[in-house]
Chain A
Amino acid sequence: MFDLNIEGAELFALPFGDIVPYFSVYSATLAAFVLIFILIAAFDRPERQLNIIFGGDAFYEKEIKEGDTRFSRFMAIACGFATLGAVLTGDIFNFTLFAVLVGITNIAIVASAGNHHVLNAAFQYGIVAMIATVPLFGAAAIILATTGTLSIWTLAGMGAVPLLAKAMLILGVMGEGIAPLYIGKAEIIRAQGAPFVLMIHFSSLLLFLRVTEIVLVI
């Protein structure tokens, strides 16, 4: 599989029988980025929101204590580890499971704000993410039915996966991970604890890069 353009040179492969977790230059770069962002989510401090009062140069600063952001910090770290799993795994079904996990943690990060509008946005996003499990698991099921395996290592370069399954996989990942880009993004950014909201965008970017790799390889 390392003769394909997108992967680059082989760095590491761990043959667990059928399923082979591997590092190419591409996936190793993604994994390194995820680790950096997990550390950022674990150790950074919550932002201080400034509210500007119109018509004057006065502003006031919202007080955000460490305890208020504990839940969103935990969920940001969990989201980072789910993204790490999605980047590292060599199995298409595990990838879909990690994508769903990223969706759950994203919903939790959004919902920890507690604002009514933000909760509404989180609820709508959650419904989209839930519907997206149909194309996501459907893609894995069709790949399993047509090729008899779910291992990316085995499927690499064979071209045996039908176009429908690839399209459904991309559609499902869009629903799970990339949904916050079009649902209530403005509402999310108004929420407190902005560094953890960063993790939503980061995980959706990484899921998109990873699903691109998978679709080009299988």
Chain B
Amino acid sequence: MIDTFHIGMFAASLCIIIAFFSFMKETDDLHRLLLTDLASVMALFLIALVGTDLAEALILPGLVVTISKLMALTEIYLVKEGIQRNQPARTLDIEVLQSAPAILASILVLYGIFLSGFSGGAVAGLGVIFYIICKGHQERFELIETVSGYAWVAWIAAFFIILIFPSQWFLAVMIAGGAILIKVTAKLSLIGTMRGESDV
């Protein structure tokens, strides 16, 4: 009897054969480095085929070790080819990063507001990090600090509302959720300011 797992296994085996065949044909070192990522995705594919909760928990450590190995290999490649000193004048000098950030960042921030709470703050913060890394920033720290301070006050106020007027819990939860959204967003967007320019 052929069930879904076996169909998946045949598909995965086909992909693995194609990936290994590409390793045989490829001779350029950089291209082979890129192909190793393909191999690690195949490994995760095999684990994901099992499709249980345990398999889901195994994906993350598998991904971590393969990515750390890929990063180590990349460092070796840079040193080997002697190009680790060739820094571009501006980090992340890629054309897409000049045009895309406004749209992508606004989508992320809107989705973060829709999610609200801690995870929403993280998503919105990612959007702001992305925008600031790509577009640069000019001394917006004070604004971020002020907003973050007010968010903290709102959060504490929400706690007081819950403690003193328990009947107004819904208002308090909404205030706390909005405040922690802004707080996490502000915190994460500070990460974005660490990369962009050299005089920070």
Q: Does A78 contact B (CB under 8 A)?
A: no
Neighbour of A144 across the interface among B16, B42, B50, CB < 8 A? B50
Residues of B within 8 A of A133 (CB): 39-40, 43, 62, 65-66, 69
Q: Which residues of A contact B138 (CB under 8 A)?
A: none
Interface of A (DSSP majority class): helix
Shortest Cβ distance from A122 into B: residue: B76
1/0 per residue, CB under 8 A from A, across B59-97: the answer is 001100110111011011101100000000000000000
Q: Does B14 lie at the interface of the complex (its beta carbon under 8 Å from any beta carbon of A)?
A: no
- Complex Cα gap A136–B49 (Å): 15
* Interchain CA distance A96-B49 in the complex, whole Å: 18
CB distance B65 to A104 under 8 Å? yes
Q: Is A127 an interface residue (CB 8 A)?
A: yes
CB proximity to B under 8 Å, residues A112-143: 114, 116, 119-120, 122-123, 126-127, 129-131, 133-134, 136-138, 140-142
**A167 part of interface (Cβ distance < 8 Å):** no
Residue of A nearest to B41 (CB): A134
Minimum CB distance partner of A120 in chain B: B80
Interface residues of B (CB under 8 A from A): 5, 16, 19-20, 23, 29, 32-33, 36, 39-40, 42-44, 46-47, 49-50, 52, 54-55, 58, 61-62, 65-66, 68-70, 72-73, 75-77, 79-80
Contact with B along A32-45 (1 / 0, CB 8 A): 00000000000000
Residue from A104, A122, A134 within 8 A of B43 (CB atoms) = A134
Which listed residue (A101, A103, A107, A141) contacts B76, Cβ 8 A?
A107
Which residues of B are found within 8 Å of A150, using beta-carbon distances?
A: 54
- Report the Cα distance A68→B61, complex, angstroms: 32
Top 5 closest pairs, chain A to chain B, by CB: A137-B43, A130-B36, A119-B80, A138-B46, A126-B73
